[in-house]
Every structure is written in C-alpha cells, then in structure tokens.
Structure 1
C-alpha cells in the first residue's frame, strides 16, 4: 500500500510538472514577439538618446556587427555593435557592456562611443541594485550616469576610471561604493575595447551572427 501511494503521488507530481512546463512554453510562444518588439523599441529610444538621429543617415538598426570581446566586456555571448555613419563616414557605435561585479550581481549597460573615442553616453538597462542606494546609477534616479558624456581615455586615463575612495576620479554614492565601482570598471573596459578594435568595428561587413577576430 505504501509503495502504491508513493507511486501515485509521484505520478501526480510528474503530471503537474509537465503541465507547468507546457504552460510556460505556451506563454513564451504567444509573448516572444511582443517582448522582442518592446526590446526593439527600447533600443531605438536609447540609441537616439545617446546619439541624436540627425548625426547619422544610415539604417543603424540593420547595420550591426557581432564580435567576441574575449571577456573584456564580460559578455557570455558575442557583443552586437550598432554602427552610425554619415555618408559612409563613421560617427559612433553603440553596444552593451556587462558589469558582473555589482552589489547585487550583474549590471547591464548600453554605451555609445563616437569615432573620436569619446563617450556619447552611458545608460543602465538592467540591474538588481539596492533601491535608494545602488539604483542611483539610473538616469531617472540621479544624474550620476550623465557625467561621462564627452569623456575618453585621453581625458581620463584608464587607471583613473575608479571611485575616489580607490584613488580614482569619480564620486561614489553615499553608502554605496560597490555599484559605481563596477560601472566605472565596465565603462573603462568599453572604452579600451573600442580603442583597440575601432577599425574592425567600422570597416567589417555588417552581418550579425558571424564571428570576427578582435584584440
């Protein structure tokens, strides 16, 4: 009797598990297109916020290149670079960078860098930092993230892209040092990667999904 009861309960649990998996699959099927459209709209807003649309005239959403950053941008997958040109002259590139060492884990940033290697801007697109402290990296919560516009490795050397507590140039938040420290490290990595691979980024054929060698 005990064995039969255990078998029955196991069968019920297995049935519930299969039902749950099925419901998740159905939900994903009916919502994936909507989610993709929302992500595309968010990307479009961010692109034009960092680099105004009147500064380029190519179809930036279809002019992208994927590169392997060899861990410098902390990407598990290839990094997608969107390129802006004005009459085939390089203007800027926008790409995502991950800061894996935030206080509450990964912080995802989108970074825009002009062809002169200066920052068009940085925005946080995903994080789990502490509300009221670490979330001040969001533009909606403070203007801290705006201070990087126009800066470069020429204006602020790589070793100075740190909080003042670590001997760097930038202020942290009161009661929160880990979050800005992680963001600054990620921005410095993005600037360095762009500097090392700028020619590849702007001259390689657009074809997302194809791997290209980089330094």
Structure 2
C-alpha cells in the first residue's frame, strides 16, 4: 500500500509540472499570436504602400504619403467600421489629391476594402482593392493583378459618368461586370461612388493645407 505522504507529494509534484507546462503553453501561444499579428500588419502595410504609389505615382506629388495622414471615421459614405487612416498628396504644400479608405460591405463573400484616390478637382486618380475574400477566378478580378477592370474608375467623377450611370452594365450602368460575377463589381462601383460623395461633402476640409481632420459622418 502506497504511503499517503508519498502519494500527496506525487500529486503536488504533478500539479506543479502541469502548471509549469500550462504557463509555457500559454506563453508560447501568446508569442506566436503576437508574431503572426505583426507579420499580418507588416504585410497589410506593404500592400497599402504599393496601392498608394499605384494610385498616386511619385511624379504626381512631392511629399511622403505615409507621413501626411489623417483619420476618417465615416459610416454613411465610406462604410468604415472603425476610424481609418487616409492620405494627402501635395505639391509645394498644396493638396492635390486625397486617398480615402472605403469599404464595400456587400461583396459576394463579404466586405471589400478599398483605397480611393481623388484629385482636388473631384476626379478619380485611381482605386485599388487592399483586402477581399471574393471567389478566385471570378470576383477576385477586382485585383489589378488579375484584371485591369479597376482601371475603369480612372478619370471618373460624380458627373462623369452621369449619376444614373454609376452602376454595372447589367443595371444599365457604365461599368463592366465580370462573366458569372455581378455582385462583386456592383458593390465596388457603389462604394467608389459613395466615396466621391464623401469627398464632395468634405472637400474644403480635405483640401486644407494645414493638418485638419474632416468631420466624421
């Protein structure tokens, strides 16, 4: 028969071992999650920077876009779930364009994150998708790497095309849709159009040469 004292010591020893193991496991998971989160953040920033330079090439501004930022928090037009960073492009101190974050919440597979570049005159400089979960081979054609569809927005504005033509061709609009996928381009077109409305609503503040943040919507 086992000595009760020996049995008790064994239980305590095993409990300590299990406790140490649990602490180690929790610590390892925390470190792994932190490292993964940092890598995800770095990758998102890389994609963001690539999109910024595609929308507004270096020869079209003389400031550092990543250092000339402001925060927007708008649900009505930009559909942002949280405050997000926007960017100003300048030449000799004057704001020549802004790049706004926007969300198309109604993509086929959920939200589609965008950056919408708008020149001071209200004309689209460029649009890029920075995050989505659309179907490969169909909805993912919103990516410039998969098709040049996103370039259709270049040079458009609130009045070009006319407001009634801000839609995909299936809805009698001016923008192409994808074969077998209409929901995705429809969502993006409407998100870009809403971003143009946001710009128009806040144009004076957005184009301020001083660092002022636009009113939240």
Whether 1:96 and 2:101 are equivalent positions in the alignment is: yes
Q: Which of residues 108, 119, 123 in structure 2 aligns to 1:118?
A: 123
Larger mean CA deviation between 66-75 and 131-140 belongs to 66-75
- Which structure has more relative contact order (CA 8 Å, sep 6+)? It is 1
Q: How has the CA–CA distance of structure 1 residues 163 and 28 changed in structure 2, closer, same or farther, with 3 Å as cutoff?
A: same
Among residues 206, 212, 215, which one is paired with 1:213 in the alignment? 215
CA shift, 1:58, in A, is 2.0
Q: 1:178 aligns with which of 172, 183, 199?
A: 183
Q: Deviations over 1:61-90 (max 9, x none)?
A: 121111222432111112322001101111
What RMSD over aligned residues (CA atoms) do the two structures have, in Å? 2.5
Contact 1:111/1:121 (8 A) holds in 2 = yes
TM-score by length of structure 2 reads 0.81
SS at match of 2:179: coil
Task: Output the CA distance in 1 between the equivalents of 2:180 and 2:34.
Answer: 43
Query: Is 1:84 equivalent to 2:89 in the alignment?
Result: yes
Superimposed CA distance per residue, residues 154-202 of structure 1 (whole angstroms, 9 cap, x where no aligned partner): 2113332111221211121111111111010101011111111121122
For residue 138 of structure 1, what is the aligned residue in structure 2? 143
Q: Which moved more, 1:16-25 or 1:190-199?
A: 16-25
CA–CA separation in structure 1 for the residues paired with 2:37 and 2:66? 19
Q: Does 1:148 align with 2:153?
A: yes
1:122: Cα distance to partner? 0.9
Looking at CA atoms only, which structure, 1 or 2, has the larger radius of gyration?
2
Q: Specify the SS of the correspondent of 2:207.
A: helix
Answer whether contact 2:140 2:146 (CA < 8 A) is retained: yes
Rate the CA distance shift 1:212–1:119 in 2: closer, same or farther, 3 A. Answer: closer
